[in-house]
Amino acid sequence: MTALLFFYLAAVIVGASLLVVLLRNPIYSTISLLVMFAHVAGLYVLLNAEFIAAVQVVVYAGAILVLYLFVVMLLNVKREERFQRQVIPAVVVAVLLLSEVVLVLFGGRVGGGLAGGPGGGFTAERIQAEGSTAVIGQVLFSTYLYPFEIASLLLLVAMVGAIVLSKKV
Amino acid sequence: MVPLSYYVILSAIVFVIGLAGVLIRRNIVIILLSIELMLNAANINFVAFSHYAETIVGQVFVFFVMTVAAAEVTVGLAIVIALYRRRATLNVEELTLLKW
């Protein structure tokens, strides 16, 4: 059942990603990215990360994509020629990189290293018992408090930067 | 139970699609969308590894990646709007002001 669900989600994710790159109209590309984000959230649920799945839907699909749609519709881009002249080098690079990754994976290093000793202590049962949000919150606000503060500063800087950049001069 | 390598291969496929999108498209908005694809591929890896290694740190990192992605989108789209106001184009082949 889990495997079936995984293959459905994976197929839709790959198909929607291809559509993002291949479609001519930017609005359709953005909508298919929305489909892709929703299915990635499903993948997170499958991996026992409910909080991250919710954040994925709220932040990515809710905020970031709406921003993209606003800009695409605001600028009202006419249809244009899709690809630039780098198509052949890009395809070569992509195929080489993908085959390299797959080769390394089937060399059996990734799974083998982890099968020896998972041991963070956060098993799926423990996360389900304590609640995904509570567990992440405890780690985020104790061990990773300093990066959390830096992230809030980063968001402030991005907000000020966006206002300054898009102001009429 | 799906093996970990399936998740890693899926993430590699999505990353490569995003990379190809950055390389071949002309529209600057689509290039930003392809960068989002690559960030999501990294996030899939983080969550999958954190699940199989039975730790929570990967999910915390996904949180930070999302923050950085939001900041990147805000500034990137502001730059796109400022560029469109000046040059009335989104085609990266015509935006060669910084080319030496």
For residue A23, what pLDDT is reported? 87
pLDDT, averaged per 10 consecutive residues of chain B (100 residues), comes to: 84 91 88 94 92 86 92 92 85 79
Integer angstrom CA distances of residue B90 from A72, A74, B86: 10, 13, 11
Distance from CA of B42 to the nearest CA of A (A): 12
* pLDDT for B75: 93
Residues of B in contact with A130 (CB under 8 A): none
Residues of chain A found within 8 Å of residue B57, distances taken between Cβ atoms: 120, 139
Check B90 against A10: CB less than 8 A apart: no
Given 1.10.10.10, 1.10.287.130, 1.20.120.1200, 1.10.3720.10, which CATH number is that of A1-81?
Answer: 1.20.120.1200
Candidate from B14, B63, B84 with C-beta closest to A14: B14
The confidence band for A31, taking pLDDT boundaries of 50, 70 and 90, is: very high
- Of B36, B11, B45, give the one whose Cα is nearest residue A98: B11
Contact at CB, B18 and A17, closer than 8 angstroms: yes
List domains and CATH numbers for chain B. 4-94 (1.10.287.3510)
Size of interface A-B (CB pairs under 8 A): 231
Which tens digit of pLDDT belongs to each residue from A114-160? Answer: 544 556 677 777 777 778 888 888 888 998 999 999 999 999 999 99
Q: Domain boundaries in chain A?
A: 1-81, 83-122, 132-169
Q: Is B91 helix (H, G, I), strand (E, B) or coil?
A: strand
ipTM: 0.90
